[in-house]
Structure 1
Amino acid sequence: MTPLRLGLAGAGRMGRNHLRALAGSDAVDITAIAEPMRAAREALPRMNATIHPDLESMLGAGGLDAVLVCVPSDFHLATVKRLAAARMPILCEKPVGVTAADALEAAELMSATGLPFQVGFWRRFVPSLLQLRERIVSGELGEIYMVASFQWDGQPPSAYFRTHSGGIFIDMGVHEFDQTRWLTGQEFGEITSLFCGVAVEPWPGDPESAQAMAELSDGTTALVSLGRRFPLGDVCKVEVFGTRNAVECKFLWPPSADDVFFAALRKQAESFARHVRGAAREGAGGHDAAAALAAAERAAMRAARV
């Protein structure tokens, strides 16, 4: 079977990560890239993909089976709307906008078109997390007291990224909120959260660390811990405490963190390719994104005392 011809909308940090992850894939081939910023276009590695200065140019050139959206988060919804009008299946980076309303609008729009729509919560393709989910679902750990999710980055992102990201709960925490829903099958109830007052480089509206605690729909407690500085580099782990057993899963941790991350991005895109060609969706959908963003929004509002 020929590879899925994928257009890439946005060649910033995450766009380049996807390019690296999909290099050499037999299932997916990025054949075109749309990137309005000249510096980002010039930073791209040598490749066979056609480079376009904007989305309209890429769509006008034709020859695509689907589009991977990696534009800044606050441009997600507008990009999804344009691609839906062009009848393009979409793999959209999380969080699908910076509000739950954005994500829900995108989800409803794509549902109405009947086009494949998948959201880039790549952790759903990490083998150790898939195994952990199976252990929870099978009852091996018993009833679940608490799920604690940690994401700490090596250093803060660029100023441009932080300006468009929606803040630490929207940008980073949305992964933890989706991961918790997916692992437990439960929804978020009441949320209590705090922004940390310690920062090496204070940034208005985006603290370097934040924590949230929540009650889930079946009584489980969820903890989310986020930070933008960690001496070991980017790390993620989840701890699950049940009535029969407990597990600590350091699924993204040095020295194998990059290997896990890029392998999951590749599996995600290849799963999306199968979905475009008729298979059931294995990854997150638009309504998953809306639910995760709704929890992230509530956490951000509670921490800001809004």
Structure 2
Amino acid sequence: MGRNHLRAIKASDQVQVVAIAEPAVAARTALEPTGLPLHADLESMLSAGGLDGVLVCVPSTMHLDTVKRLVVAKLPILCEKPVGITAEQAFLAARLTAHASVPLQVGFWRRFVPALKRLRERIAAGELGEIYLVACYQWDGAPPGEYFRTHSGGIFVDMGVHEFDQTRWLTGQEFGDISALASGVAAEPWPGDPESAQALCVLSGGSSALVSLGRRFPLGDVCKVEVFGTRNADECRFLWPPTADDTFFEALKVQAESFAAYARGGEREGAGGDDATAALAAAERAASHLASGGVPP
């Protein structure tokens, strides 16, 4: 994900990457053509100074420890989702940064996609009426690599947190009961992590939500939202060929620019630590229900 951020920020005239900490020798060597100062670890980069904030793109299992170190350094933090692999870790990160008055923004980049912002405004304005159902779909072109898959917390934590945050953000509602079901079909079975899983959720305002996840899709990485209301309905294919990459990288760029403004003392536009905690809590409940064999809650 770090390379994606580098590509996105390169197009910005408001944010500049000035250093990279990368412990893996091969990855660090591959970054040499960027011409940026490269450090073998976070401590070296912090010691060199000259930073206004830090974008955290380490594996999810390392998010909390990295946030803790940056809190000590008093540096604003833009942390990739999900800020750990448990709601407890995200909660602790949120409390630590708040107590130290260190800005923390979480990389739920979809909050910066214009089509989704318009959909949220339509829902808030009542254009769709009262909402029956919000259905969020995320299907990737191919499964991630072995290291990522074994350190990401599973399909609901790795992928689903985006949908859970997106649902809360779009509707302004919180999650109630959550049921989950894994598909019995897998092109390449992976122990403990299905290639596809769905969650059906009750929301606090009476609406229902569907989260549909898949690790293999012939068109590549795609995301869409369907909203059904008492007055109208909408389908938003906000990440879909042939414009998927353009949407993704533009959102990452705008997110970084928004974070920079927040780090300078402005209002936070993106997600915060409490949002990450809520999304991970929902993901954990979905994963727990899945592990129980899909028994109704």
Scaled to the shorter chain, the TM-score interval is over 0.9
Selected match of 2:37 from 40, 50, 61 = 50
Contact 2:130 2:229 in 1 (8 A): yes
Aligned equivalent of 1:278: 265
- CA distance in 2: counterparts of 1:166 and 1:247, whole angstroms: 32
Is 38-47 or 78-87 further displaced after alignment? 38-47
**Counterparts of 1:13-32 in structure 2 under 5 Å?**
14-32=1-19
**Structure 1: any 5+ residue segments left out of the alignment?**
1-13
**Counterparts of 1:117-266 in structure 2 under 5 Å?**
117-266=104-253
Q: Secondary structure at the match of 1:202?
A: coil
Query: AA paired with 1:117?
Result: L
- CA distance in 2: counterparts of 1:225 and 1:261, whole angstroms: 19
- CA distance in 1: counterparts of 2:144 and 2:30, whole angstroms: 18
Residues paired across the two proteins, number: 293
* 1:24 CA drift (Å): 3.4
- CA distance in 1: counterparts of 2:130 and 2:16, whole angstroms: 43
Q: Deviations over 1:12-71 (max 9, x none)?
A: xx0000000011311111100001111111222622321001101100111101000000
Aligned equivalent of 2:55: 68
- CA distance in 2: counterparts of 1:234 and 1:148, whole angstroms: 17
Query: AA paired with 1:53?
Result: A
Q: TM-score by structure 2 length?
A: 0.97
Percent of pairs with identical residues: 72
- CA distance in 2: counterparts of 1:81 and 1:20, whole angstroms: 27
Superposed CA RMSD: 0.8
Contact 2:32 2:38 in 1 (8 A): no
- CA distance in 1: counterparts of 2:74 and 2:35, whole angstroms: 25
Q: Deviations over 1:176-215 (max 9, x none)?
A: 0000000000000000001112111111111100000010
- CA distance in 1: counterparts of 2:189 and 2:26, whole angstroms: 27
Q: Secondary structure at the match of 1:135?
A: helix
Contact 2:79 2:107 in 1 (8 A): yes
Q: TM-score by structure 1 length?
A: 0.95
* 1:126 CA drift (Å): 0.1
- CA distance in 2: counterparts of 1:211 and 1:45, whole angstroms: 41
Q: Secondary structure at the match of 2:283?
A: helix
Contact 1:147 1:222 in 2 (8 A): yes
Aligned equivalent of 1:10: none
Give structure 1 regions of 4+ aligned residues with deviation exceeding 4 angstroms.
none
- CA distance in 1: counterparts of 2:224 and 2:27, whole angstroms: 32
Aligned equivalent of 1:4: none
**Structure 2: any 5+ residue segments left out of the alignment?**
none
Query: AA paired with 1:216?
Result: L
Aligned equivalent of 1:84: 71
- CA distance in 1: counterparts of 2:225 and 2:11, whole angstroms: 31
Query: AA paired with 2:206?
Result: G
Contact 1:195 1:304 in 2 (8 A): no
1:301 is aligned to 2:288: yes
- CA distance in 2: counterparts of 1:21 and 1:204, whole angstroms: 34
